[in-house]
Chain A
Amino acid sequence: MSSSPRTRFAPGSIWAWVLLASIAIGLILTVVTGSVGALFPPEAATAQGREIRDLYTIVFVIAAVIFFVVEGLIVWTVIRYRRKPGDDELPPQTHGNNLAEIAWTVVPTLIVAFLFVISWQTLNNVEAVSAEPEVTVRVTGSQFAWTFDYLDAGGNSVAKQTVANGEGGILALPVGRSVQFRVHSVDVIHAFYVPAFLFKRDVNPDPDGRESVFELTIEESFAGEVLRGQCAELCGLGHRKMTFEVHAMTQADFEAWLVEAQQTPSPAPSGPVGTTLQLVAKDITYDTLELEVAAGEPFAIEFDNQDVAGITHDVDIRLADGTVVANTTEIDGGTSTTYVYGALDAGEYTFICSIHPVPSMTGVLTVN
């Protein structure tokens, strides 16, 4: 019944070592990948994110201890209790041990109870919403654009930024002030996610237009930083392009930026144009998919976006191979504009909504 390990070369031991080697390689990979991209979230850019990061660190330490104790126990047991060749005796037939089993029920219960309590505390801090936030931003998600409206005390938009397919405006935010976000979607589910905030919130469509509300305060030390934001909930074909930039600004810079953003630039088409065409977009569909203009002279399209606010469209012109001939600025639902295009050579072109490059918004422009 002796169970002392022998160092003799035996088939069993080879595979114990192979297993050990595999686990060792796994651990090396852990270290290697850990050094490339750390196993910690980025430095938190908000007060709330800082609390989340602190919680992460506590969970990580407990998890690491459990991992090394239990994984170590597995590896040690496997190496220690190899069956030696020719040993046909049965080991002791232990069926259980009440004390041990109670211990490994009670101790984990206490650990998870502790984790639950501290994460609940952090949750209450992260979810706190003030009655009178210093800045309020309404975030509207749509396929595949973000609209950021800066609201006054009465809830009216005083400045608007649109980021379609990752291009266009920015989300400027002041440091050191509580910013309330009111998020909703006009079509499918999106998620507002800024990794450096360590936070995301689903951007849900709601038949009653209800918004989901949360507050964040950017740390003073992040003034001047540009942070990456991205949609985190699969929302269709352009999901990956729904990025945006957060520009953290000092309060003075933010005030100045806001004043500038309020003066909406009005596009002023100029010069004589030949033909002027009409085009309407509604339900993510152009009312016609065939347009015709004369070659060699500028032309215009009076474009009416009849979708709801938040759904932006434009009318770009491309060659068959996808080369962009004319890149227009998208307009919000419920507004209209006149796009002016330069003269084109005769031939067939594609006119397309760059935000919604679907068949119902992809037409043929024939230039004679």
Chain B
Amino acid sequence: MATTAPALTPAASGYRSGLYEWLTTTDHKKIGILYVANSFIFFFLGGLLALGVRTELAQPGLQYLADENLYNELFTMHGTVMIFLFIIPMLVGFGNYVVPLQIGAPDMAFPRINALSFWMLPLAGILLFLGFVTGGAAAAGWTSYSPLAQDRPLGSVGPGQDLWIVGLLLIGTSSILGSINFLVTIFKMRAPGMTLFRMPILVWTVLVTSVLVLMATPVLTSALVMLFIDRNYGGSFFDPANGGNAVLWQNVFWFYSHPAVYIMVLPAMGMISEILPVFSRKPLFGYKAFVFATAGIGALGFSVWAHHMFTTGSVYLPFFSLMTFLIAVPTGVKMFNWIFTLFRGKLTFSTPLLFALGFLSMFLIGGINGAFSAAVPVDFALHDTYWVVAHLHYVLFGGSVFGVFAGVYYWFPKMTGRMLGEGLGKVQFVLMFIGFNLTFFPMHALGLSGMPRRIADYASDAGWNELNLAATVGGFLIAASILPFLWNVFVSLRSGKPAGDDPWEGNTLEWATSSPPPPYNFDHLPEIRSERPVFDLRHGRAGSGH
């Protein structure tokens, strides 16, 4: 074992205590925890915004929002916050905490840049929310299509939209810096013996994600600057009223924002690829195929952006249709790899595995209902209806959010030295699983019968009443599932069961050090001969079946 220091007295292991330490830290583990905590705050805020939307839609008629513009602000900010301030930074946070540990490194390559990347995020969040007190937050949708996002009557007048642009610029800069940091860390700081094909899958997914971020985010950043110029300095990039091109914005926006879907789901896939082997006591089935599938998704991810634009009449439809269908193949490969990791395993149903199985079963639906929109004529019917809302939530909630909670239950003991309660964890899982399906499954039917997205009200005779009510009840069930989680974290931090170094019989190097790990992580490392060094240490080479 790497260390014999008592796990629950971080001060004894050389940490300075207090707020000052957290504000100035350059330790990747503390920064990782800051990312996770910050992301959860925005998750709860984004969730409240979603409850506002669902409450208004529970019944036909305008009941709660006298100001209809507020409704547009709610769903705009919900999407923006959940994507840019929750899912993406949350996964960066796990990457920050886990990647250096898993490759046997003492820290990230550039610790101060790492701290800078993080501190841009709360600032960006504050700027985004400032819109609510300066005459209205951004209200043109998280996609901010021009010309609606332009400074024009009935468009986006006021500072909310500018704050949105500046907030996203900060988040984009944070992402670019973070991706460079990850790439240098992964390429230059691996421990001796940690070859590329012995890296844990989470590290591979963070690697591919970082390449996506590095190549795609600058495109969004330039587009945001151009939109800012349009709005404030008389530019005409995206405004047809001044000779600009409205569809150009959609091209540059989705050139980033489609790869962003993979940025939001690949690391979550990496997390459950760590968890499924541990809880089935088997190696990941088809490690190399999984790596190539991840790289394949990353590469194909740059050739499908216009499938968000099939109804514009301005893109070459067959090409983007073909590429969108093709991306299902590497995704399918992964699904079978996961299932055959479980196959003939010995499964222990701890909370991390439950959430990982939630990911598997729900992301499957998100993949399948996405294939409908790849068939362009079917997309003519489904685009911009509630079907799409169902699809994206089965991917980003059914996939990413279930993956995030799997990761939280799995690595919380490493981060804090305390176990989370299993009972409360399972209560949370069941509530969330049912609430999630009750919210989003009915939206398939709503979309098929023609309910468009982004409307505050609908006709009472359109046949949408029951399904909307079901979705709203489900939404509150999801909110209820957060309460046992918060209580669980609170109780565990105060008096949770001590975790020990390796509570799950893990495979990867983070389980070869104390919980929480000391500064610079390791006193010494076990020998690395496979992607499961700690498994090898526990069972010897015979056990690994090499």
Contact = CB atoms under 8 A, between A and B. Distances in A.
A344 to B, nearest CB: 26
Given A41-B448, A112-B328, A356-B153, A74 B360 contact: yes
Interface string A200-222: 11101111000010100000000
A257 interface: no
Contact of A358 (B154, B313, B375): B154
Contacts of B329: 105, 108-109, 112
B162 to A, nearest CB: 17
A73 B544 CA distance: 26
B467 interface: yes
Contacts of A108: 328-329, 332-333
Given A55-B377, A77-B343, A235-B148, A39 B448 contact: yes
Nearest to B456: A240
A42 to B, nearest CB: 6
Interface in A252-310: 283-285
A30 interface: yes
Nearest to A16: B349
Given A70-B335, A204-B246, A207-B244, A115 B361 contact: no
B486 to A, nearest CB: 21
B286 interface: yes
B342 A38 contact: no
Contacts of A233: 145, 384
A119 B321 contact: yes
A234 B317 CA distance: 23
Given A95-B545, A232-B452, A201 B313 contact: yes
A232 B281 CA distance: 49
A321 interface: no
Given A15-B426, A95-B287, A237-B154, A200 B380 contact: yes
B148 A12 contact: no
B280 interface: yes
A4 interface: no
B311 A202 contact: yes
A11 B422 CA distance: 11
A228 B259 CA distance: 35
A231 interface: yes
B527 to A, nearest CB: 18
A18 interface: yes
A36 interface: yes
Interface stretch (B86-94, B190-198, B210-218, B438-446): B438-446
A226 interface: no
A37 B332 contact: no
Q: How large is the interface on A (under 10, 10 to 19, 20 to 34, 35 or more residues)?
A: 35 or more
Contacts of B17: none
Contact of A90 (B140, B281, B285): B281
A94 B462 CA distance: 54
A283 B384 CA distance: 29
B326 interface: yes
Interface stretch (B173-181, B219-227, B364-372): B364-372
Nearest to B312: A202
Nearest to B471: A33
Contacts of B287: 95-96
Interface stretch (B27-35, B101-109, B429-437): B429-437
Interface string A51-71: 110011001100100110011
B381 A56 contact: yes
A236 B136 CA distance: 13
A91 B368 contact: no
B169 to A, nearest CB: 23
Contact of A83 (B69, B348, B449): B348
Contacts of A96: 285-289
Chain B contact residues: over half helix, strand or loop, or mixed? helix
Contacts of B354: 15, 18-19
- Specify which of B148, B381, B454, B544 lies most central, judged by the most chain A CB atoms within 10 Å of its CB: B381
B147 interface: yes
Interface in B127-159: 140-141, 145, 147-148, 152-155
B362 to A, nearest CB: 9
B383 interface: yes
Contact of B69 (A19, A143, A237, A356): A237
B396 interface: no
A358 B153 contact: yes
Contacts of B332: 104-105, 108
B364 A228 contact: no
Contact of A42 (B374, B434, B449): B449
A101 B333 contact: yes
Contact of A120 (B321, B434, B544): B321
- Specify which of A95, A143, A358 lies most central, judged by the most chain B CB atoms within 10 Å of its CB: A95
Interface residues of B, number: 109
Contacts of B245: 207
A364 B288 CA distance: 72
Contacts, number: 328
A87 interface: yes
A168 B449 CA distance: 24
A120 B347 CA distance: 44
A264 to B, nearest CB: 27
A123 interface: yes
A205 B246 contact: yes
Contacts of A105: 289, 329, 332-333
A96 B341 CA distance: 9
Interface stretch (A21-29, A156-164, A170-178, A331-339): A21-29
A50 B463 CA distance: 22
Interface in B301-328: 311-314, 317-318, 321-322, 325-326, 328
Nearest to B145: A189
Contacts of A356: 153-154
Interface string B331-349: 0110111011011111111
B363 to A, nearest CB: 11
A171 B287 CA distance: 58
A320 B385 CA distance: 36
A104 to B, nearest CB: 4
Contact of B344 (A3, A37, A60, A235): A3
B543 interface: yes
B189 interface: no
A204 B312 contact: yes
B357 A193 contact: no
A100 interface: yes
A198 B449 CA distance: 9
A94 B285 contact: yes
Given A56-B381, A104-B332, A200-B380, 20 more contacts: A14-B349, A33-B442, A37-B445, A37-B466, A55-B377, A59-B371, A90-B543, A109-B326, A112-B325, A115-B375, A126-B380, A143-B154, A189-B148, A189-B246, A200-B311, A207-B242, A233-B145, A233-B384, A236-B72, A239-B454
30 contacts: A3-B346, A22-B429, A29-B441, A37-B449, A39-B445, A49-B381, A70-B335, A71-B361, A74-B339, A75-B361, A93-B545, A95-B287, A97-B340, A118-B375, A119-B375, A119-B378, A123-B376, A188-B246, A193-B452, A195-B381, A199-B380, A200-B384, A204-B240, A204-B246, A205-B241, A234-B145, A237-B69, A240-B457, A284-B153, A356-B154
Interface of A: 3, 11-12, 14-16, 18-19, 22-23, 25-26, 29-30, 33-34, 36-42, 49, 51-52, 55-56, 59-60, 63, 66-67, 70-71, 73-75, 77-78, 81-84, 87, 89-97, 100-101, 104-105, 108-109, 112-113, 115-116, 118-120, 122-123, 126, 143, 187-189, 191, 193, 195-196, 198-202, 204-207, 212, 214, 228, 230-237, 239-240, 243, 283-285, 356, 358, 360-361
Interface of B: 68-69, 72, 140-141, 145, 147-148, 152-155, 240-247, 280-283, 285-289, 311-314, 317-318, 321-322, 325-326, 328-329, 332-333, 335-337, 339-340, 342-349, 354, 357, 360-361, 364-365, 368-369, 371-372, 374-378, 380-381, 383-385, 426, 429-430, 433-434, 437-438, 441-442, 444-446, 448-450, 452-459, 462-464, 466-467, 470, 539, 543-545
